[in-house]
Amino acid sequence: MLDKTYKEQLEAWDKTYLWHPFTQMQDYIRETPLIIAEGNCVFLVDVNGKEYIDGISSMWCNIHGHRKKEIDNAIKKQLDRIAHSTLLGPSNIPAIELAKRLVEIAPKGLKKVFYSDNGSTANEVALKMSFQYWQYKGFKDKTEFVALQYGYHGDTLGTMSVGGIELFHGAFRQLYFKTHLSPSPYCYRCPMGKQTKDCGLSCLDELENIFKENADCIASMIMEPLIQGAGGMITHPAGYLSGVHALCKKYNVLLILDEVLTGFGRTGKMFACLHEDITPDIIALSKGINGGYMPLAATLATEEIYNAFLGEFSELKTFFHGHTYTGNPLGCAAALASIELFEKERILENLEPKIKHLQAKLKSFESLEHVGDVRQCGLIAAIELVKDKTTKEPYHWEERVGIKVCIDARKNGLLIRPLGHIIVIMPPLIIKTDELDRLLDIVNLAIQNITNK
């Protein structure tokens, strides 16, 4: 625990100097800030010494828990050699080793690794790559993109252009390039107005219509496979992803899969697209890449795409992109250690029973009066709260129901963050069954406390 005056000082400085992301600071400065001092396994500890289960994996990225010995040591070992050197020109040892390892574990056919620092840049790179690919192939009109409604690919202008969340993405509308939005397969609130069972995935017909009319102008389609994260943890029906893949092939559109969230085991397999046995043309990876330790991202592409950028110096072909910290040795060393842990600790095998356990336990939420929908994908669960279960009428945003549930949970030692009125549960993959039970009990109680008022 920290000294009381230092703690008060930190709280004051936080309010004076920091501007928090996605936060109304006028509200923030009225509250006592939660300041994390340390972590251990699935737990976070604040400056008062209070412990919390890290119920959202420190913003969806932690895999092996905090202060994982093997990753800590890999970073320390690398630190004794060098912290950073650039990939613009020279190479470095961990970046080379990791690129080889990523290609080995990636969906078959993805052969080339382009590094950046975060999920947004990984997708930005993917979008630029797909655009430039067609330019070099002589398809000069392929300058537009397709994305899904409720999709989220990052906060840079490029990735916001392909974003489908009105609240975030509406604010910058005038600045965007042309993107066609296709309906999201959000079964609980089906955009086609159908019942899940006999829908025949008719939302794919809408996508096909977009392709039919515009394929000559479309460079690529970008989507989050299996589950759309920030848009509300919207889980897709089986067959949707392979349907999109087939349509992209049919209409000569590149498929970019944003596996920033789903990559590295989160859905139960190493990558979500393996559930439907498809390989995209480009995949974007970040959050779990080094166990959630530090900023690192990778965009993997097929040989076909890579080869389109090859040419004589005089042709001036180059992929014009590169960040200062690209392929940072510390981040890459951490990633190598994290990937090794997947094998050594049989992370995916051990995850299977936990996913089943979560599924069974989630049943107890369905009967709650204000729970409209309970969704799960691997070790992600989402509970959509509604004002009226029969009509599916959502809570009004001003009621701040999601936030209130999370504040209640915090009192009982669980840190979670909602998406509007959708409660998100996404602990580190190594969480133990009894810890998962405790987490779910806290959430269940919090929902009852807030919605039964």
Interface ranges with ligand PLP (CB under 6 A) = 118-120, 123, 152-154, 224, 229-230, 258, 260-261, 286-287
Report in angstroms how near the CB of residue 276 gets to ligand PLP at its nearest.
Answer: 17
Q: Give dist(CA 335, CA 357) in Å, integer.
A: 28
Report in angstroms how near the CB of residue 61 gets to ligand PLP at its nearest.
Answer: 8
Q: Of 152 and 251, which has the nearer Cβ to ligand PLP?
A: 152
Place of tokens 């092939």: 249
Q: Of 144 and 259, which has the nearer Cβ to ligand PLP?
A: 259
Q: Of 261 and 308, which has the nearer Cβ to ligand PLP?
A: 261
Q: Of 58 and 444, which has the nearer Cβ to ligand PLP?
A: 58
Report in angstroms how near the CB of residue 294 gets to ligand PLP at its nearest.
Answer: 11
Q: Of 225 and 394, which has the nearer Cβ to ligand PLP?
A: 225
Q: Give dist(CA 58, CA 27) in Å, integer.
A: 22
Under 8 Å between Cβ of 107 and 283: yes
SS (H, E, C) 380-392: EEEEEEEEECCCC
Q: Of 123 and 451, which has the nearer Cβ to ligand PLP?
A: 123
Q: Give dist(CA 154, CA 127) in Å, integer.
A: 12
Report in angstroms how near the CB of residue 161 gets to ligand PLP at its nearest.
Answer: 13
| Amino acid in position 345 | E
Q: Of 120 and 302, which has the nearer Cβ to ligand PLP?
A: 120
**The length of the chain, given as a count of residues:** 453
Report in angstroms how near the CB of residue 260 gets to ligand PLP at its nearest.
Answer: 4
| Amino acid in position 309 | F
Token pair recorded at residue 198:
């006999």
Token pair recorded at residue 47:
């400056």
Q: Give dist(CA 381, CA 359) in Å, integer.
A: 9
Q: Of 118 and 184, which has the nearer Cβ to ligand PLP?
A: 118
Q: Which residues are within 8 A (CB) of 341 and not within 5 positions of it... i.e. 6 or more apart?
A: 64, 68, 70, 71, 291, 347
Q: Of 300 and 442, which has the nearer Cβ to ligand PLP?
A: 300
Report in angstroms how near the CB of residue 292 gets to ligand PLP at its nearest.
Answer: 11
Place of tokens 């890999």: 74
What Rg do the C-alpha atoms of the chain give, in angstroms?
Answer: 22
The residue number with the shortest CB distance to ligand PLP is 119
Report in angstroms how near the CB of residue 6 gets to ligand PLP at its nearest.
Answer: 31
Q: Which residues are within 8 A (CB) of 213 and not within 5 positions of it... i.e. 6 or more apart?
A: none
Report in angstroms how near the CB of residue 334 gets to ligand PLP at its nearest.
Answer: 15
Q: Of 47 and 272, which has the nearer Cβ to ligand PLP?
A: 272
Parallel, antiparallel, or unpaired: how do β-strands 371-377 and 179-182 relate? unpaired
DSSP string, 205-241: HHHHHHHHHHGGGEEEEEE-SSEETTTT-EEPPTTHH
Q: Give dist(CA 384, CA 255) in Å, integer.
A: 30
Report in angstroms how near the CB of residue 160 gets to ligand PLP at its nearest.
Answer: 11
Report in angstroms how near the CB of residue 369 gets to ligand PLP at its nearest.
Answer: 31
Parallel, antiparallel, or unpaired: how do β-strands 282-285 and 254-258 relate? parallel
CB atoms under 10 Å from CB of 246, counted, come to: 14
Q: Of 292 and 444, which has the nearer Cβ to ligand PLP?
A: 292
Report in angstroms how near the CB of residue 261 gets to ligand PLP at its nearest.
Answer: 4
| Amino acid in position 411 | K
Whether the CA torsion 224, 122, 351, 55 is positive or negative: it is negative
DSSP string, 70-94: HHHHHHHHHHTT-S---SSSS--HH
Token pair recorded at residue 170:
């509406």
SS (H, E, C) 39-52: EEECEEEECCCCEE
